[in-house]
Amino acid sequence: MTTRTPLMAGNWKMNLNHLEAIAHVQKLAFALADKDYDAVEVAVLPPFVDLRSVQTLVDGDKLKIKYGAQDISAHESGAYTGEISGSMLAKLKCTYVAVGHSERRQYHGETDELCNAKVKAAYANGITPILCVGEGLDVRKAGRQVPHTLAQLDGGLDGIPADQAESIVIAYEPVWAIGTGEVATPEDAQEVCGAIRTRLAELYSQELADKVRIQYGGSVKSGNVAAIMAQPDVDGALVGGAALDAEEFVKIVRFRDQ
Ligand SMILES: O=C[C@H](O)COP(=O)(O)O
């Protein structure tokens, strides 16, 4: 059985300017330094304008905290006003990039096809995508959360070869649980995360599926993280609101102590 290192990633969304970002990462580094946290990988996904500041801090102080972006352009360069390319993110040494977050899908009309192009752009630049998938409330009420989420997974991974897919991170985020305080039960999370792993085995191989980390996201807090992480197919969390509070995020990282 493959051991997967849990990945706790804080998606700051449109919060914290570059000065606040520096203070926040310093707090995280200070709080995490007093106890070994090698067993858990910690990442932050700040707004684009914070990335240079975060990079300088992480590089300068040789922090173990990883960082990445919340989005990536499907294009490599050119006349795409407002977009940020994969090569720009790679130049800032981003480890991760979120692709297809439900807020991008909902407010910016991102389709599975576009997400797939963004996954390819990430890999073309040596950045690991965190592909976000998950159903809305109407789909959940209709009991179609598994086929809906797997269709997003299939679309996002279309044409991605195994040697790339083995490093992908999948974030299962039921939209009805994002920022609502409405957390999926551990069983809800396991149902879909387990189905994602089974699909990865069908698309590639069981060996590959066993390597891929699958996160849960949606109102994760220190009080509920341990129960969610106890599920066999949940390998981390993509944390929104609670990641803006350094102390709370550190508690989530230390889920084993909760
Ligand atoms: O990317 C993070 C998710 O959208 C979860 O956000 P939340 O923890 O505020 O519910």
Model ipTM value: 0.99
Closest ligand 1 atom, CA of 241?
A: 9
Under 8 Å between Cβ of 68 and 130: yes
Following DSSP, what letter does each residue of 90-139 receive, concatenated? Answer: HHTT--EEEES-HHHHHHH---HHHHHHHHHHHHHTT-EEEEEE---HHH
Helices 112-124 + 145-157 axis angle, to 10: 40
> What is the phi/psi pair of residue 80, to 5°?
-130, 75
Query: What is the 79 CA–ligand 1 centroid distance (Å)?
Result: 31
62-76 pLDDT, tens digit each: 999 999 999 999 999
CA 248, CA 61: separation in Å to the nearest integer? 23
Q: What confidence tier does 247 reach under pLDDT thresholds 50, 70, 90?
A: very high
111-123 pLDDT, tens digit each: 999 999 999 999 9
User: Rounded to two decimals, what is the model's pTM?
Assistant: 0.97
Closest ligand 1 atom, CA of 179?
A: 10
The yes-or-no verdict on residue 49 having pLDDT over 70 is yes
Query: What is the 98 CA–ligand 1 centroid distance (Å)?
Result: 12
CB 240 near ligand 1, within 6 Å: yes
pLDDT of residue 183: 78
101 is known as an active-site residue: yes
pLDDT of residue 158: 98
> What is the phi/psi pair of residue 221, to 5°?
-140, 170
The domains found in the chain, sorted by start residue, are 7-257 (3.20.20.70)
Under 8 Å between Cβ of 211 and 2: yes
195-235 pLDDT, tens digit each: 999 999 999 999 999 999 999 999 999 999 999 999 999 99
Tokens describing residue 139:
């789909």
